[in-house]
Structure 1
Amino acid sequence: MSRGGAGEYSRYCYREILPFTTMVVMECTNVGLNTLFKFATNRGMSRHVFIVYAYAIAAVVLLPSPFFSRRSRILPPLNSSIMLKILFLGIVGYTSQIMGYTGINYGSPTLASAMSNLAPAYTFVLAVIFRMEKVALSSTSSRAKIAGTIVSISGAFIVTFYKGQSISSTPSSPVSLHNSLQSSSQSNWMIGSLFLSVEYFLVPVWYIIQTHIMKEYPAELTIVFFYTSCVSFLAAVVGFFVEQDPSQWKIRPNVALASILCSGVFGCCINNAVHTWALHLRGPVYVAMFKPLSIAIAAAMGVIILGDTLYLGSIIGATIIAIGFYTVMWGKAKEEWGELDETTDLEISTPEKYPLLQSYRTEVAQKR
C-alpha cells in the first residue's frame, strides 16, 4: 500500500470507524452504569451525593489534562468568555443529570433508554434552528436524515411498548426489561417519563453548547476537566441544602461506592471526553443518533447478562432502529461526499473556466 493510500485509510479509520466504535461502546457502558445506579439508589444512595462524588472523581482524574494540552499544542488563551460558556455548560449538564437520575429513580434504566430516543429528534431540530445542520427537502440526504430520525424513534417505542411473543427464555430469567416497566406504578412511570423527557431535551442543548466551545478552544480533556469541576461544585452547593442527613455523605464500601467509582471514571470522565471528541469531529447530530441504540443494547444485555426473556417486539424494534440509524448515517455520508464532489469539481473546472487566473497563479508560483 502506498503512503497516500495508507494515509487515506488512516483518515477513514479516524473519522468513520473509530467514532462509530467508541460511541457504541459508550452506549453499552451507559446502560450498565444506569442499571448500577438504580441498584444503588434502591439501597438508599442519594442522587445528589452521587453526582457530587462521581464528578469530583472525574475532575481528579482529568486534573493533569490542562497542563498536557498546553504542552502538546498551541491553544488560544483560556479567557473569561470561554470559562463563562463552560460554566453555562456545567449548569445545563448538572440540570440534565439531576433530571435524568431522578427519572431513573422514579422509573427504571429501561425507561431511560426508551426516553433517550427523543434526543436525536431534539438535536436535529435544534441543529437546524442554529444552522448547524443543513436541511433541503429537495435533497436526498436531507430526506434520508429526516426519515431515519423518525424511523429510529418509532422503532425504539416499539421495543418499549410492544412485547409480542416470547422468543427465548431461561429458567433463571428473573424479570424482563419490559416487565421492569410494568412493575413501576403508573404515577411513578409518568413522573419518571417527565423528568427524562426534560433531560433528553437538555442533552442536545449540551451537545450544541459543547460544539461551540470546541470551535473556540479545541482541547477536549481540558474542557471536560473544567466541566466536571463545575458540575461537582454545583451539585455540592445544591446537595448542601437538599441533603441534610450527614450519613448520606458517608460512602461505605458497598454498591454505592462501586456505582460512584464506575460512573466517575467511565461515565463522567471517559464518556464525556469521548462525546466531546466526537462532537468536535462529527457534530451533534451524529452523536445524538447513537441514543436509539441504547434500548436495543439494553435488551441484548438483559438477555446475555441477566438471562432475561427476549420478545418478538424487541427483535422488530431493534431492526427498525438499525434501519433508521443507518438511513441517517447514509444521509450524512451522502451529504459529506456531495460537498467533497462539489469542491473537487470546482478545483478541476477552475483552469477551464478561468484560464487567465490559472496562468496568473502559475506565473506567481514560478516567481516564488
Structure 2
Amino acid sequence: MEKLDLRKPTSHAKSLGTIVSVLGALIVTLYKGPALVKPSSSPSGLTHHQPRLSQQHHQPLLSQRSNWIFGGLLLAIQCLISSTWNIAQAATVKDYPEEMTIVFFYTLFLTCQCSVISLIVERNPNAWKLKPGIEMIAIVYAAFFVSVFRISVHVWCLHKKGPVYVAMFKPLGIAIAVAMVVLFLGDALYLGSVIGSFVIALGFYTVICAQIKEKRMALDNGAQILEPSTQTTPLLQSSSINQV
C-alpha cells in the first residue's frame, strides 16, 4: 500500500524516518537520565509518601516472580496483531469506503467479545451495578471518546492516508504521553524523555514530509500527462467547425 522505491530520495526519507522514530521510542523507554524538572509538590502531602510508592513501584523489577518477559512478549504480539489489523482494515475501507458502517460493525463485535470475556472473568453480580457518579462518567466517556470517536478517526485516517500514516502515531503517542504526564500529573521530566521525544518527532515529520512530497510529485506527473490531451482538444474542435 505504501510505495517504496529505493531509487527515490522520498523512499529513503520514509525508511530513515521510521527507524529514527522507533529509536526515539526506545530511548524514552530504556534511558532515564537526570531529572530536568522535579515533581511538583501537592497540597495534600502526597510527596511525603512518594519514596515509599516509588520503592513499591520498582520492587517488581528486582523480584524473581515478575513476569516482565512474558508481558513484553504479549506486548510484541499485540503490536504485530495491531499492525496486521491496520493493513486489513485499510484494504477493507479501500474496497468499501463506508467508514460509519465499518465503525458500527467493529464496535458491535468488539462489544460482544468484551461482554463474553467480562462475564467469564467477573462473576460477581454486584460488580455490574452502575452507580451515578464518577463511575458512570468514566463509562460514558470511554464509550464515546475511547471507542466510537477514536475508532472513527482511526478508520477515516486509514482511508485517507493509509496504514503507515496511522502507525507513525504509535511512537508519537509516547512523546505526547510524556508531556501530558508532566503537565497534568506533576511527574518528573527526565533527560531521556526529552531526547527520545525529540527523536520521535524528528522521525515522524520526516515520514510525513516524504509522503507529502510524493503526493505532490504524483499530482505533477498526472498534470503533465493530461496537458497534451487538453492541448489537442481545441484543434479537434476547430477542425470539426471548419468541416461544418
TM-score (norm 1): 0.56
1:293 matched to 2:162? The reply is: no
User: Secondary structure of 1:167's partner?
Assistant: strand
Q: Return 201-210 or 224-233, whichever deviates more.
A: 201-210
Kindly provide the CA deviation profile for residues 205-249 of structure 1, in whole angstroms up to 9, marking residues without a partner as x. Answer: 222222222223322222211210111112223333343332333
Partner of 1:264: 143
Matches within 5 A, 1:278-357: 278-350=157-229
Letter in 1 for 2:3: K
Name the CA shift for 1:359/1:213 in 2 (closer, same or farther; >3 Å): same
Instruction: Please list, as runs of the form range in 1=range in 2, the aligned pairs for 1:27-42 lying within 5 A after superposition.
Output: none
Q: What amino acid sits opposite 1:311 in the alignment?
A: Y
- Aligned partner of 1:204 in structure 2 is 83
Q: Compared with structure 1, are the counterparts of its residues 278 and 184 closer, same or farther at alpha carbon in structure 2 (3 Å cutoff)?
A: farther
Quote the Cα distance in structure 1 between the aligned partners of 2:41 and 2:175: 21
Kindly indicate whether structure 1 or structure 2 has the higher relative contact order, using CA contacts under 8 Å at least 6 residues apart.
2
Match of 1:183 in 2: 58
Q: RMSD of the TM alignment (CA)?
A: 3.0
CA shift for structure 1 position 252: 3.6
Q: Which residue does the alignment assign to 1:75?
A: none
Match of 1:314, SS?
helix
Match of residue 28 from structure 2: 159
Question: Which has the greater radius of gyration?
Answer: 2
Counterpart of 1:216 in structure 2: which amino acid? D
Q: Match for residue 228 of structure 1?
A: 107
Q: Indicate the residue corresponding to 2:19 in structure 1.
A: 150
Aligned to 2:94: 215
Q: Aligned letter for 1:289?
A: M
Q: Distance in 1 between the 2:72 and 2:40 partners?
A: 31
Indicate the SS of the match to 2:176. helix
Unaligned runs of 5+ in 2: none
Q: Say whether residues 1:169 and 2:44 are aligned partners.
A: no
Query: What amino acid is the match of 2:29?
Result: T
- Where does structure 1 lack aligned partners over 5 or more consecutive residues? 1-131
Letter in 1 for 2:114: A
SS of the residue corresponding to residue 5 of structure 2 reads coil
Structure 1 residues 245 and 310: CA distance shift in structure 2, 3 A? same
CA gap of 1:222–1:365, structure 2 versus 1, over 3 A, is farther
- Distance in 2 between the 1:134 and 1:181 partners? 48
Q: Which moved more, 1:313-322 or 1:245-254?
A: 245-254
- Alpha-carbon distance in structure 2 between the residues aligned to 1:362 and 1:191: 76
The match for 1:273 is 152
How far the C-alpha of 1:281 sits from its partner, in A, is 1.3
The aligned residue for residue 237 of structure 1 is 116
Secondary structure of the equivalent of 1:136?
coil
The offset of 1:257, in angstroms, is 3.9
Q: Percent identity?
A: 41
* Residue identity in the other structure for 1:218: P
Give a deviation string over 1:129-177, Cα, whole Å, max 9, x none.
xxx111111111111111000000000110111111111113427679x
CA distance in 2, matches of 1:358, 1:181: 80
Amino acid at match of 1:135: L
User: In structure 1, what is the Cα distance between the partners aligned to 2:230 and 2:186?
Assistant: 65
Q: Is contact 1:350–1:358 with CA below 8 Å preserved after alignment?
A: no
Amino acid at match of 1:225: F
Instruction: Kindly provide the amino acid, as one letter, of the partner of residue 307 in structure 1.
Output: G
Aligned partners of 2:40 and 2:187 also within 8 Å? no
